[in-house]
A and B are shown apart, each in its own frame.
Chain A
Amino acid sequence: MKSVGRLLRYKDVYDIDGSEELFIDAMRENCKFQYDNSEDYRKILDGMNFNPDNIKSMEDVTNIPFLPTLFFKTHRISSYKNTKHLYKATSSGTQGKFSEIGFDIGSLWSAMIMSLRILRHWKIISPIPCNYIVFGYQPKKSNRTAVSKTAFLTTLLAPALHRTYALKYINGKYEPDLEAVFEAVKRYSKKKAPVRFMGFPSYTFFVMQMMEERGVSVKLPKNSKIMLAGGWKQFYKEAVEKDVFYSLAKKTLGIEEENIVEYYGAVEHPILYTDCPNHHFHVPIYSRVVIRDVNTFKPLPNGQMGLVNLITPLFKATPLLSVMPDDLGILHDGCECGCGIKSPYLEIIGRVGLKDIKTCAAGASDLLDKSNLSKVIQGGEK
């Protein structure tokens, strides 16, 4: 996987055009590797009449058969014979169905370099110690949900003085303890060190709402940041509008909009997406996005809504090279943003599924399972 190394060393993390040839080469190498090492993946490619050797253009990359998240929830697929040595990450799926994705050490190393490059680009890595409020789970051995790991890992980006967790493990399950967060915010606001909020957007929002209702506002130390991760599902159109979130952050915590950073990454596509000053998720060079027609899966031009297909050559142990999460989105031309980054940006509009499907056609409940009905706020599907 020589080309992956070269891609990781590529300087400008948003130079999609300049890195295209490297990306195509890396995809071909990865696809061949998966084809040679995973019997199931080979059967899929053969069945779809796709030959990895023929990957020579971006169009060929687009034609690589994609694997939906649903596929990972129902199959354990790996290109490593000995899966014992793999680091396993699970998505916190609903209804007991979850993906378990294996990562090899080499790929994790690549992911780390990728993350560091992107975070360095956005100057997130800082030597100044911080107090952390983590809107995630307290790490625990039995809890392999990727969100809790990423939430913890991000607290290492700047040295941690203290960490407060919003989700406490009480009587065998995780429960939000917003009062404790409220107290911590008041406490931290009197200190000098910047505060960083990490994790699910919805909880951050609840705490800010709580503060507003009680008429409490603080001015957190300079360079305090709200870092939102754990999936976008709290930010779908029908949920909190981002503008409301930003103004509430300023009012209750004294945090300016530019210090609110959002991340996106899925277990099946662990590429770090960070929003730009205009809060757009530009596609980094390690990833490509294809928006597909919901019926035919044909690629759609930029600006049209469809199923999101995420492509990356970075991971070896599991065929993650082309995946399709349950998201509907739009890819916009980079120039529409105005932040200066030319790479296109991804807007997530919502999730697949119909909220209140009404049918009496026999068998329909199996086909349209109700997994999307249960909107669990502690979600963090990604």
Chain B
Amino acid sequence: MILANGIVYETDAQNELLSGLPEKLNKTLNAKPLDSEIVINAFDNLGQRIAQGEFSDLISSIEMSGKDEYIDLAVRMMSRKYLEYKLKVELGDSKTDLFKDNRITCGRVPLGVLFHIAAGNMDALPVVSIAEGLLAGNINILKLPSVDNGLTVKAMEILIEFEPRLKDYIYIFDTPSSDVVAMKKMADMADGIVVWGGDEAVAAVRSLAKPGTRLIEWGHKLGFMYISGFENKEQELKDLAEHIMVTKQLLCSSCQVIYINTESFDEVKEFAKEFVDYLNAAAAKYPVDEIGAIAEISIKRRVALYDELIGGDLSSKDEAVFYGDNISVTASPDSELELSYMFGNVYVKPLPRRDIMSVLRAKKEYLQTAGLICSPELRDELAAEILRTGVERVTRAGNMSFYFDGESHDGEFPLLRYTRIINIEK
């Protein structure tokens, strides 16, 4: 399905719509700029209607655990309070006039046309991406992720129905990534390309974009936990285990590796063995029902082991895997930050404090969230050390994926990137 100017079209209308699009965009750009108040009011209304259960039929098609919390978060992120706060934190007073003197006026205006390439890792992500683009005053062209379930078009249709003034600012296409010609056309119309996705998606967009087009990359990340002592061991490990099971380690901020401040592999193994019980308890509360995914991962794991046996590289032979019910904790002697097998299969590795910088710098492109469990007197120092490596968020045990009001996204304020600064000489 395609949404253009508030009207839903079938997929086959794509090329015709695309060829007429530049002219439409120019017309909209030439009109009065979009007032953020219109956007805030429309999203606030949409959020309230969702909260009141108006679209429960549509939302019930989303299959995920922790859905209610997720919807609560979505509603909160659409609220007037949140959007106004975001606008204030990210753009401050710079939205209108940065400064004025006798000769020069300096101001912040929308970037123009944003082309969003959304990933499918969260159902509401395409909507969030458009909301941010609109808030900064841009025209938004969105390419839906292949796994979209129709929610995005429906939500935007409802939004436009309530606020028809937004209709010329939202274009949604269900173009597959393989349709390079159409993708290129959309990229050519854009002042900025917002890409959500893994290394491959980001690399593909880089090759697609003309030099000079602003690239805003929200790439995939690897989260980890650093442990150096405890404040309240039982509670903290329980929180960490529940974080792992609730997010199933699928989010950028999810914990993939638990680092222990030690050089002793025995200590790592001891912790891994102990942590299985915590993870088991959390798994009982938030069970993994993706049996097919677990099976596929197990097979890949086994083939990787055979590869090592055949190739004579036996690094994983030194690993110690502790299994629970459908979960596992793997004690590994190396310190590499790497993706776990997810779905409740976490790594535990040694990372002596003095090696934090060198180990994490090796994966600097993937740093974002670090959980930190430590004694209270160490917290400030350790957090600062971790942040210096390039990490952007340091949280407590259970909050690695918690969304804070006013938080940055991968170390940036998106609205700043979705706008540009203009200077006018009198």
| A68 located at the interface, meaning its Cβ lies under 8 Å from any Cβ of chain B in the complex | yes
Give A357 to B64 CA distance when docked, in angstroms: 11
Q: Is A43's CB under 8 angstroms from B310's CB?
A: yes
Q: Which single member of A306, A353, A359 contacts B251 (CB below 8 Å)?
A: A359
Q: A67-B306, A326-B299, A367-B341 are in contact. Are A352 and B292 (CB under 8 A)?
A: yes
Q: What 0/1 pattern do residues 208 to 239 of B give for CB contact below 8 A with A?
A: 00000000000111110000000000000000
Name the CB-closest residue of B to A48: B309
| A328 located at the interface, meaning its Cβ lies under 8 Å from any Cβ of chain B in the complex | yes
Give A306 to B292 CA distance when docked, in angstroms: 9
Give A365 to B145 CA distance when docked, in angstroms: 14
Give A356 to B120 CA distance when docked, in angstroms: 8
- Tier of interface size on chain B: 35 or more
* Residues of chain A at interface, number, CB under 8 A: 42
- Of residues B223, B299, B309, which shows the largest number of chain A Cβ atoms within 10 Å of its Cβ? B299
A-B CB pair tally, cutoff 8 Å: 137
Interface residues of A in 277-318 (CB under 8 A from B): 294-297, 305-307
List of B residues within 8 angstroms of A40 by Cβ = 310
Q: Which single member of B223, B297, B309, B317 contacts A367 (CB below 8 Å)?
A: B297
| A127 located at the interface, meaning its Cβ lies under 8 Å from any Cβ of chain B in the complex | no
Q: Is A356's CB under 8 angstroms from B339's CB?
A: no
Q: Is A360's CB under 8 angstroms from B147's CB?
A: no
List of A residues within 8 angstroms of B300 by Cβ = 70, 367
Give A336 to B219 CA distance when docked, in angstroms: 52
Q: Which single member of A43, A296, A326 contacts B323 (CB below 8 Å)?
A: A296
Give A364 to B302 CA distance when docked, in angstroms: 17
List of B residues within 8 angstroms of A44 by Cβ = 306, 309-310
Give A294 to B121 CA distance when docked, in angstroms: 24
Q: A44-B306, A70-B303 are in contact. Are A361 and B295 (CB under 8 A)?
A: no
Q: What 0/1 pattern do residues 360 to 375 of B give for CB contact below 8 A with A?
A: 0000001000000000
Q: Which single member of A307, A326, A363 contacts B222 (CB below 8 Å)?
A: A363
Chain B residues at the A interface, C-beta cutoff of 8 Å: 119-123, 146-147, 196-200, 219-223, 249-252, 254, 256, 290-300, 302-303, 305-310, 312, 314, 317, 323, 326-328, 338-339, 341-342, 366
Q: 16 additional contacts, CB 8 Å, given A70-B303, A353-B296?
A: A44-B310, A70-B300, A74-B303, A74-B307, A295-B323, A297-B302, A307-B298, A358-B121, A358-B122, A358-B123, A361-B251, A361-B342, A362-B198, A363-B220, A364-B342, A367-B297
Q: List 7 A-B contacts (CB under 8 A).
A: A48-B309, A360-B251, A361-B221, A361-B256, A363-B198, A363-B338, A365-B200
